[in-house]
Structure 1
Amino acid sequence: MSSYLEANARQRIHQLLDADSFAEFLPPAQRIVSPHLAQLDTPVSFDDGVVIGSGTLLGARVLAASQEGGFMGGAVGEVHGAKLVGLLKRAIQDRVDGVVLLLETGGVRLHEANAGLIAVSEVMRAVLDTRAANIPVIVLIGGSNGCFGGMGIVACCANAILMSEEARLAMSGPEVIETTHGVEEFDSRDRALVWRTTGGKHRYLLGDCDAVLADDIDVFRHAAGAALQRCRQSSAELTLQALESEHALLSKRLKDFGQLSEPMDIWSSLGIANPAALPMLEAEAFMQQVSSFRLGER
């Protein structure tokens, strides 16, 4: 077993893809770094915190990107975002079988302000352009920093999201919510509450991700390959029908759970008899127990 959570960006992408198949684009040796960080006397990374390249996944031709949570929390700046956009554009040009994004990020790099915001918006557009070209985009989330901010929106633009129990996915992070609305609204120090609210299990039950996986890169590897194969068997494009279905699901969530603030109350409303037991279940046992209670599948 190789822990996805404990691995760095390069370890994840090399172990996820088929052995010796990964070829990196713009490697650290080329030293393409952010021009903004140097002006602020802030340390730079020679890959700007994201590893991109080509390879195969269970035999399928893919382009892949892996964010490095150890560099500025995986935050997106101008160069970081441009590497992701370029990768997605190349996916369309090369007509690959799919794109796999290993996301671990707090969102926009505040040091780069508007440049970072523009970069994230360009990544969103590039994801949808890739899907419009009928090339699936699969997102994996399992790092300690989770996936927040604009990149949380990017994740939700993809065809499929696979998360570990340790992963988190949201627009605003717990600390941001607490700072903006007060500790009464959200106590970011309550780690159990944080994971109940933004973690993989809750996201699966609300229909925000497609599976909760064990913290094992090989498990992620086979789940990503299976998701890619499913998406290739149908259109990868975001259709009006799919968008209307998503809006209906969100409306139902608001109607059913809009007055609830504790995730376990939501789980109970979904019909789960013993919601307090869910946080203690391993990923496989969790999936077996709750698949029929997932919102939108009842």
Structure 2
Amino acid sequence: MISYAECSARERLALLLDPGSFHEWLPPAERITSPHLAQLGVPSAFDDGVAIGRATLGGRPVFVAAQEGAFMGGGVGEVHGAKLVGLLQRALRDRPAAVLLLAESGGVRLHEANAGLIAVSEVMRALLDVRAAGIPVVVLIGGANGCFGGMGIVARCADHIVMSDVGRLAMSGPEVIEASHGVEEFDSRDRALVWRTTGGKHRWLTGDCDALVEDDVAAFRAAAIAAIGTTKPLTLASLEDEHALLNRRLHALPADSADNADNVGHDEATRLWRALGIADAEQVPELPVPALRALRVV
């Protein structure tokens, strides 16, 4: 077993894809760097924190992008975003069997705030164009930095999300919530709380990811192969189904009240799991992945 979380972006590509099949576009040798970071005196990376290219997976042609969490937390800037958009637009022309996004990002770089925000919106539009063309987009989340901010939104626009139990997915990161609303609202240093509310187990139980796997590159590879060739309809009906799921989740959680004995001693995530019909919800964080997969009721 090789830990997906401990691999770099290029290590994941080498281990996940068919051996020797990855051909990188705009590799580090091209020295395509962010102009904004240089102006601010911030160190740059010659690939701007993302590797893109074509490969085969299980013998089928795929386009793939892998974000490098070790460079600026996988943050999206102008060049980083443009590489993702270019990959997706080329997919519309060449029509691979699928597009894979190995996401690891804290969101938009603060150094390139406006450019990064525009880039994320362009990535979302390009991704939805690819889906509308019938090409599945599969997002893999299992890196140490998780998938937050704009990339969290991008991930939820995809056909399929594969997460490990150590992966994390959300709109706002724990530190952002704490900075905005105080430690009483969310203690970002409480690792157990962070994983209960943003981790792969929680996302699986609430229906926010399509496959939950071990922290193992081989498990991610198998889940990605299984997702190739299957798309989800991008229609008004599918959007209404998603809204209905969110509405059920919102109303499943009982009102927080000191008089409600069921709420005493349980955080919101645990109470939500219980409300969704999961027995022994308090044991969820300790359960192995195979046992947890059997508990999903949504």
Q: Structures share a fold, TM > 0.5?
A: yes
1:254 to 212, 230, 250: 250
Deviation at 1:130, TM superposition (A): 0.5
What is the CA deviation profile of residues 164-209 of structure 1, one whole-angstrom value per residue up to 9, with x for unaligned ones? Answer: 0100000001111111111111111111000000000111111110
The TM-score with structure 1 as length reference comes to: 0.94
Partner Cα distance (2:64, 2:245) in 1: 30
Is the Cα contact below 8 Å between 2:252 and 2:276 reproduced in 1? no
Rounded to whole Å, the distance in 1 between the matches of 2:180 and 2:234 is 33
In 1, Cα distance between equivalents of 2:284 and 2:230: 28
The answer on 1:50 being equivalent to 2:50 is yes
Shift of 1:280: 1.1
Aligned residue among 277, 282, 298 for 1:276: 282
Aligned partner letter, 1:93: R
Which runs of 5 or more residues in structure 1 are unaligned?
A: none
Distance, in Å, in 2 between the alignment partners of 1:271 and 1:154 is: 29
User: Do 1:5 and 1:215's aligned partners in 2 also have CA atoms closer than 8 Å?
Assistant: yes
| Cα distance change of structure 1 residues 259 and 90 upon mapping to structure 2, 3 Å threshold | farther
Paired with 2:269 and 2:132, the residues of 1 have a C-alpha distance of 35
1:173 counterpart residue number:
173
Q: Give distance in 1, aligned partners of 2:161 and 2:254.
A: 24
Deviation of 1:230 after TM superposition, in Å, equals 3.1
SS at match of 2:240: helix
Percent pairwise identity: 65
* Partner-residue secondary structure (3-state), 2:202: helix
Instruction: Answer whether contact 2:104 2:147 (CA < 8 A) is retained.
Output: yes
SS at match of 1:91: helix
Q: Check whether the contact 1:133–1:237 (CA below 8 A) recurs between aligned residues.
A: no
- Residues 90-124 of structure 1: per-residue CA shift (max 9 Å, x gap): 11100111100000000001101100100000000
Structure 1 Cα separation of the partners of residues 2 and 20 of structure 2: 17
Task: Report the secondary structure of 1:229's partner residue.
Answer: coil
After superposition, where does 1:129-140 map in structure 2 within 5 Å? 129-140=129-140
1:285 Cα deviation after fit: 2.2
Aligned 1:149-188 pairs, distance under 5 A:
149-188=149-188
How far off is 1:258 after superposition?
6.8
In 2, Cα distance between the equivalents of 1:169 and 1:259?
25
Equivalent residue number for residue 63 of structure 1: 63
Choose the corresponding residue for 1:244, options 236, 240, 243: 240
Paired residues of 2:45 and 2:71 also in contact (CA < 8 A) = yes
Deviates more, 1:209-218 or 1:251-260: 251-260
Q: What's the C-alpha RMSD, in Å, of the aligned pairs?
A: 1.1
**TM-score normalised to the size of structure 2?**
0.94
Preserved contact between residue 98 and residue 229 of structure 2 (Cα < 8 Å):
no
User: Are the counterparts in 2 of residues 10 and 66 from structure 1 also a CA contact under 8 Å?
Assistant: yes
Alpha-carbon distance in structure 2 between the residues aligned to 1:195 and 1:209: 15
Residue 243 of structure 2 aligns with an amino acid whose one-letter code is: H
Amino acid at match of 2:275: S
Unaligned runs of 5+ in 2: 257-266
Give the counterpart letter for 1:39 in structure 2: Q
Deviations 1:220-254 (A, max 9, x none): 001011012333xxxx5511111110011111111
Q: Which residue of 2 aligns with 1:227?
A: 227
Q: Alpha-carbon deviation of 1:83?
A: 0.2
Q: Compared with structure 1, are the counterparts of its residues 259 and 100 closer, same or farther at alpha carbon in structure 2 (3 Å cutoff)?
A: farther
Shift of 1:283: 1.4
Match of 1:55, SS state, is strand
Tell me the alpha carbon deviations over residues 132-161 of structure 1, each in whole angstroms, 9 at most, x when there is no partner.
111100000000100000110000000010
State yes or no: 1:266 paired with 2:262: no
Q: Is contact 2:136–2:230 with CA below 8 Å preserved after alignment?
A: no
CA separation in 1, counterparts of 2:27 and 2:83? 11
Q: Distance in 1 between matches of 2:253 and 2:224?
A: 31
